[in-house]
A = this chain, B = another copy of it.
């Protein structure tokens, strides 16, 4: 077991000074060709690589970015990470991940432990609990310390930083329009509680689409799932609610769900009740998932382009870190969604 070799060791072995070695390895012309070659050959032989930690300490840059997300067992977030990682790696950065599990405390702890030198900047999607409590001191403090944050998806409007958002409202509107255009008149909305920004925005899109087509929104047709984690229990309870709503409103001919799990749950209810999709009921959902593609029938969905979001976020952050971008200007980028037509619509 041989430890990694250091400049010091090379210097000792070759009987030169540390700085000579350092310069020689940078191919500096200060050093004679002879010694340069000798040192380079030796370094190569022993597979010398500069120690990242020492570099970080010296340069006050770690070349790593911290990614804080609510959960990772989730197709959308996994895609975003994948996009971040790709860009980060290509631009010489590493990626540390921290999971908040939607908990405020875990989010704070994660950020605090990384802030102390481990990372140069953050990319994050805010935990539901944080949004609910509206306590953003940890975010404000890191920004005040000169550590840039790029928020995506779950964004806090009050905080001044770069943001990548999905055009949730537009996407939802397009989805609902799609339903209306193929004949739906009574469209059930499956959404989240309002404090989840994206749920709220998608709800807004639903309302707007109806409005544009002079259809009045019926409160009876809006179900706000009381979920926090999409756990089995919560989905079961949603299922019962959907069932009840179908029973009370047997004229429902469309469903718009803010995520694919809700959509699949609706389809399950429909199947139980013998409602044919897409003949009697059409379904569209927001999503970025495998479920949509492989459910039966496959789901028409609003694609959020998770990978692209991740890539954009990483580029934005690294531009700032590498000082390609001005430190004091903040942009909000909107990633356009697109509708993927599958078999749950006519």
Query: Is A79 within 8 A of B73, CB to CB?
Result: yes
A268 to B89 CA separation, bound complex (whole angstroms): 38
Question: When chains A and B are docked, how far (Å) is the Cα of A81 from the Cα of B109?
Answer: 18
Query: Is A53 close to B, CB under 8 A?
Result: yes
- Smallest distance from the beta carbon of A177 to chain B beta carbons, Å? 27
A98 at the interface (CB under 8 A from B): yes
A94 and B82 within 8 A (CB): no
Size band of the interface chain A makes with B: 35 or more
Which chain B residues lie closer than 8 Å to A57 at the CB level? 53-54, 57
Q: Which of B1, B62, B89, B99 is within 8 Å of A146, CB to CB?
A: B1
Does A52 belong to the interface (CB within 8 Å)?
yes
Contact with B along A87-101 (1 / 0, CB 8 A): 001000011111100
Say yes or no for A183: interface residue by CB 8 A criterion: no
Q: Which residue of B lies closest to A73 (CB)?
A: B78
Asked if A29 is at the interface (CB within 8 A of a chain B CB), the reply is: no
Specify which of B75, B97, B114 is in contact with A81 (CB 8 Å cutoff).
Answer: B97
Docked CA distance A81–B264 (Å): 26
Give per-residue flags for A249-266: 1 if the beta carbon is below 8 A from chain B beta carbons, else 0: 000000000000100100
A92 to B183 alpha-carbon distance, docked (Å): 56
Complex interface: chain B residues within 8 A of A71 (CB): 82
Contact (A116, B146) CB under 8 Å given A95-B97, A290-B291: no
Per-position binary interface string of chain A over residues 272-295, scored 1 when its CB falls under 8 Å from any chain B CB and 0 otherwise: 000000000000000001110011
Asked whether A3 lies within 8 Å of B116 as measured between CB atoms, the reply is no
With the chains together, A97 CA to B81 CA distance in Å?
A: 10
- Please tell me if A56 contacts chain B, counting CB pairs below 8 Å: yes
Contact B62–A73 (Cβ < 8 Å): no
Interface residue A8 (Cβ < 8 Å from any Cβ of B): no
A17 at the interface (CB under 8 A from B): no
The chain B residue sitting closest to A143, CB to CB, is B1
Residues 270-322 (chain A) with a chain B CB within 8 angstroms: 271, 289-291, 294-296
Identify which of residues 103-155 in chain A touch chain B, using a CB-to-CB cut-off of 8 Å: 109-110, 112-118, 141, 144-146
23 pairs across A/B with beta carbons < 8 Å?
A: A1-B145, A2-B144, A2-B145, A4-B115, A4-B145, A49-B115, A50-B116, A52-B118, A53-B56, A53-B62, A54-B117, A64-B96, A64-B118, A71-B82, A72-B72, A73-B75, A74-B78, A78-B78, A94-B118, A261-B290, A289-B290, A291-B291, A296-B296
Which residues of A are interface residues toward B (Cβ below 8 A)?
1-4, 47, 49-54, 56-57, 62, 64, 71-75, 78-79, 81-82, 85-86, 89, 94-99, 109-110, 112-118, 141, 144-146, 261, 264, 267-268, 271, 289-291, 294-296
